[in-house]
Structure 1
Amino acid sequence: MADSPNLRGREVTSDYEPSVDGGSIFGSVTSSVQDHVWEFGRRYHMYKYGRYPMPNDDEEFNRETLRHLMFKELLEGKLFLAPIGGSPQKIMDLGTGFGEWAIEIGEQFPSATVIGVDLSPIQPVWIPPNVEFIVDDIEDEWVYANDFDYVHLRFVGNCIKDNSRLQQRILHRNLKPGGWVEYQDWYLQTGSDDGSVPPGYAVQKLLMLCADVFKTVYGFEPDYIGRLPAELQRHGYHQVERKVFNMPIGDWPTDPRQRTIGGYFREVLMNLAIAVAARPLVEYGMEKSEIDELVNAVRLALSDRSIHAWVPMHFVWAQKPPT
């Protein structure tokens, strides 16, 4: 990935419009980094071009929105599991994406200051007055104060090059004594309770390809979540906890809530296949015919209700020692 890419042949746009109404009851997104680039038929971030390989367009917004709804259904309306108390005063959402989680946590805790950080200026213009969005690379050297009660990361660690370094930075530079960090992420594998996942299952192939692409092409750590609790303990966090949910793929469960979750997840995975087909799999070196075959196979697999597959979702939280 080039730090200073040659953008000839790519369409660069600046379609983000910040608020100008300083007197509103709502705040405005504060960022001067407004450009995007169109390529591979999708829109991507311009700031730190190439740092993150997934698009930031309307189709990706739909995928992230479904994922947000899926997690809320999974947690029965909750946004987190860490025991942060009833009145946190400063909250940070790293890799905030389109900002749904940050906005909702700001509404839940109106007395708290909420900061969402992302590479793309794609968050809503009108936001609660206690929420602020900043365009930045969370792996760069930055300090947003050391008095945060809670730092949240959801589906972020798989696209980080050095999770250990980020964990140390959060501990020593961002959290106040007694503050909490929480990771919400998946392990890129499928399983089943009844052995119904067939050999060559296309969804498993998709997830394995994602893991290999993220590691070999972009230098990320797609397997970080498995070792995360031990790493947090090694860095000095305490009260490290992990909870794993087996997220159903599709609407095969008999339980209504699990069926709803599975329906969301099926659409999230289909949209993931389409998103990685646009750029990551091309940069991985796959031919268009191979990519099309994979996407079609994933579509067929996701519609097969005889396959009772799930993917493990990990929630890991830990506290900075109070003293």
Structure 2
Amino acid sequence: MDNEAADEGHADQEPDERNGGWTSDYASSVSEASFCSVSSSVNAHVWEYGRRYQIFRYGRYPIPNDDEEFKRETFKHVMFKEMLHGKLYLAPLNETPQKVIDLGTGFGEWAIEFGDAFPSARVLGVDLSPIQPMWLPPNVEFVVDDIEDEWAQDSDFDYVHSRSVFVFLKDAQKVILSAFRNMKPGGWIEFLEFFGQPGCADGTLPTDSPFIKFFDVLRQVFIDVYGFDINIAEKLPAKLEQAGFVNIQHKVYHLPIGDWPKDKHLRTVGVYCREVVEELLSAAAAKPFSDAGIEKTEANELLQEARAVLFNKRVHAYMPAYIIWAQRPER
């Protein structure tokens, strides 16, 4: 998108003098609970490309944090729960986990539900954006920070959790090592990574499909512009082993995209997945494509072509989801 349009996005925001002119959803006192006691400016937002983004570590995470993204995250959370038949995790936790951290918690759905399920546990959600609800279970807390920084909290977590986060990290191994150092012996870590390359088992999604092309372009943008690894999920077991974790397990789910499966359960997952992917396409065609220098007209054309494939019921595409869990050794 051109600079003129981006400047128009800045002009649309509602200034707040307490936060240097940026919009904010949090009171300034909330930031005092952050790992690093960062200033109230982290609670602000910036508008660009017609979307809202976090101001803390601006550009570090190129996906919006606005109402449209809230809808996508909500669909994604429900989709994962449907995929796991209502479960919030697969790691073999004990019946009374005491201290849990949710890395890249987003809007906080998982952390809140986990806190409700385990009222004796303290659940801490960490994210770059102050977008979580203010009314929470008493055992749930959210802070604004970058998990790729050194962790400054207590080093006794018995469960470390993340969903769709490691694909957006520049140094996954650093975060895994931070988790290892800050976990109790015998504690568990679990990742769910959804974002990857769409697949197809019956040839209805050819390799030259605009849908495949869109993800090919996005992968290159992630590598060249942001230094991300879109295929990180496949590498996480080896990275966990390298860090010293044991009892490493993983499962791969092929989530249908759309309502084409005959199985009722898979069809429900597919409907949610299609919504998640459609919103992801829109978000990716905004800031990421613009940051890569892709013209707005070219991005919109590719977006519309990919959407047409997305809603074609004759295309039986799926998106792989990886769940990996491992244990810190008892000694």
TM (normalized to structure 1)?
0.91
User: Could you tell me how far apart the structure 2 residues matched to 1:155 and 1:316 are?
Assistant: 12
| Alignment length (residue pairs) | 310
Q: Does 1:162 align with 2:155?
A: no
* Other-structure match for 2:140: 131
Amino acid at match of 1:91: V
Please state whether the residue corresponding to 2:43 is helix, strand or coil.
coil
* Other-structure match for 1:225: 233
Please state whether the residue corresponding to 1:251 is helix, strand or coil.
coil
State the Cα distance separating 1:230 from its structure 2 match: 1.3
CA-to-aligned-CA distance 1:230-267 (integer Å, 9 cap, x gap): 12112210000010000101000001110011011111
1:2-151 mapped onto 2 (5 Å cutoff): 10=10, 11=13, 12-18=21-27, 30=33, 32=40, 33-151=42-160
* Other-structure match for 2:18: none
Amino acid at match of 1:163: A
* Other-structure match for 1:189: 197
CA-to-aligned-CA distance 1:114-161 (integer Å, 9 cap, x gap): 000001100001010000000001101223211111000110001100
Amino acid at match of 1:282: S
TM (normalized to structure 2)?
0.89
Q: Could you tell me which of 301, 305, 311 is aligned with 1:293?
A: 301
State the Cα distance separating 1:226 from its structure 2 match: 1.0
User: Could you tell me how far apart the structure 2 residues matched to 1:297 and 1:228 are?
Assistant: 33
Relative to total residues, which structure has the larger helix share, 1 or 2?
A: 2
User: Could you tell me how far apart the structure 2 residues matched to 1:249 and 1:50 are?
Assistant: 29
Please state whether the residue corresponding to 1:316 is helix, strand or coil.
strand
CA-to-aligned-CA distance 1:258-289 (integer Å, 9 cap, x gap): 00110111111111111111111011111112
Structure 2, unpaired ranges of 5+: 1-6, 14-20, 35-39
User: Could you tell me how far apart the structure 1 residues matched to 2:203 and 2:265 are?
Assistant: 22
User: Could you tell me how far apart the structure 2 residues matched to 1:157 and 1:225 are?
Assistant: 8
User: Could you tell me how far apart the structure 2 residues matched to 1:244 and 1:127 are?
Assistant: 32
1:209-224 mapped onto 2 (5 Å cutoff): 209-224=217-232
User: Does the 8 Å CA contact 1:187/1:314 hold for their aligned counterparts?
Assistant: no
User: Does the 8 Å CA contact 2:193/2:323 hold for their aligned counterparts?
Assistant: yes
Amino acid at match of 1:228: L
Structure 1, unpaired ranges of 5+: 1-6, 21-26
1:171-190 mapped onto 2 (5 Å cutoff): 171-172=180-181, 174-186=182-194, 188-190=196-198
Amino acid at match of 2:80: F
Please state whether the residue corresponding to 2:130 is helix, strand or coil.
coil
* Other-structure match for 1:278: 286
Between the aligned residues of both structures, percent identity stands at: 50
With over 3 angstroms needed to count, the CA separation of the structure-2 counterparts of 1:308 and 1:155, relative to structure 1, is: same
User: Could you tell me how far apart the structure 1 residues matched to 2:100 and 2:94 are?
Assistant: 12
CA-to-aligned-CA distance 1:283-315 (integer Å, 9 cap, x gap): 111111211111111211111111111111100
* Other-structure match for 1:312: 320
State the Cα distance separating 1:9 from its structure 2 match: 7.7
User: Could you tell me how far apart the structure 2 residues matched to 1:224 and 1:74 are?
Assistant: 21
State the Cα distance separating 1:187 from its structure 2 match: 5.3
User: Could you tell me how far apart the structure 2 residues matched to 1:78 and 1:189 are?
Assistant: 25
